[in-house]
Amino acid sequence: GNSVTQMEGPVTLSEEAFLTINCTYTATGYPSLFWYVQYPGEGLQLLLKATKADDKGSNKGFEATYRKETTSFHLEKGSVQVSDSAVYFCALSDWGSQGNLIFGKGTKLSVKP
Amino acid sequence: SAVISQKPSRDICQRGTSLTIQCQVDSQVTMMFWYRQQPGQSLTLIATANQGSEATYESGFVIDKFPISRPNLTFSTLTVSNMSPEDSSIYLCSVSQTPGTGELFFGEGSRLTVL
């Protein structure tokens, strides 16, 4: 079945460091791919998405490229800020369940000043 | 976007009891989803709740254990029945305003601890 695997956390970085959170997926067909973020005390919210191969999603300085050949959707940011501290979830669409998303386990990011 | 309020935000419950979680949305939505996030695990879909029809449960989840109500387009409840410590989880309500896009809005979750 469809699944998402993302790197284990927690990840601790200094401010302005480069961030990569790896995400790979297994899916039949051509799913859409998503990164969701959960800031402390808040609900999950969509960070970015890509709907087809080679698409690049971007938002708030974060980017991720849909790589069909490597079944990956790695999240990157060139210079993280303390305010980026959150839990990041990679997800893919599973349209067999009326729009259900399949999530990775989440990666907790802590950015130190 | 949609703003989702869940109650309670957290609770400590005794084994064998039941607890109902409420989900209120600030706009009318057709599709609502209930997820569970067990400690150290990813989010798992429990069921899809559409107004005017029975909830659709995912494999491993049954209506007797997780009854769901969806009385209108802005509200839903999930009951966790006859709780055991294995039910200790975060339960999340989410909605789709644009079905087919995969863009979901989530509540803050309800963290249940069963003793």
- pLDDT at residue number B24: 97
Question: How confident is the prediction for chain B on average, in pLDDT?
Answer: 92
Contact A106 B4 (CB under 8 A): no
Contact A43 B103 (CB under 8 A): no
Query: Would you say the C-alpha torsion A22, A25, A29, A33 has a positive or negative sign?
Result: negative
Q: Could you please report the per-residue DSSP string of A83-110?
A: GG-EEEEEEEEEGGGTSEEEE---EEEE
Q: Does A59 touch chain B (CB under 8 A)?
A: no
Question: Which of B65 and B51 is assigned the larger pLDDT?
Answer: B65
Q: pLDDT tens digit string along B8-30?
A: 999 999 999 999 999 999 999 98
Q: Could you please report the per-residue DSSP string of A50-83?
A: E-STT-EEEETTEEEE-BTTTTB--EEESS--GG
- pLDDT at residue number A98: 58
Contact B104 A103 (CB under 8 A): no
Q: Which two tokens stand for residue B2?
A: 């949609």
Give the minimum alpha-carbon distance from B18 to chain A in angstroms, rounded to a whole number: 24
> What's chain A's Rg over C-alpha atoms?
14
Confidence of residue B102 (pLDDT cuts 50, 70, 90): confident
**CA-closest candidate to residue B13, choices B80, B68, B91, B61:** B80
Contact B48 A104 (CB under 8 A): no
Contact B102 A99 (CB under 8 A): yes
Which one of B21, B45, B91 would you mutate to disrupt binding with A, by most A Cβ within 10 Å of its Cβ?
Answer: B45
- pLDDT at residue number A79: 96
With a cut of 50, list the residues of chain A below it in pLDDT.
Answer: none
Q: pLDDT tens digit string along A22-54?
A: 999 998 878 899 999 999 888 889 999 998 899
Query: Are the CB atoms for B70 and B63 separated by under 8 Å?
Result: no
Give the minimum alpha-carbon distance from B78 to chain A in angstroms, rounded to a whole number: 17
Q: Beta B110-114 vs B10-13: how paired, if at all?
A: parallel
Q: Which two tokens stand for residue A95?
A: 């349209």
Q: Which positions in chain A touch B33 (Cβ < 8 Å)?
A: 99-100
- pLDDT at residue number A21: 97
- pLDDT at residue number A40: 87
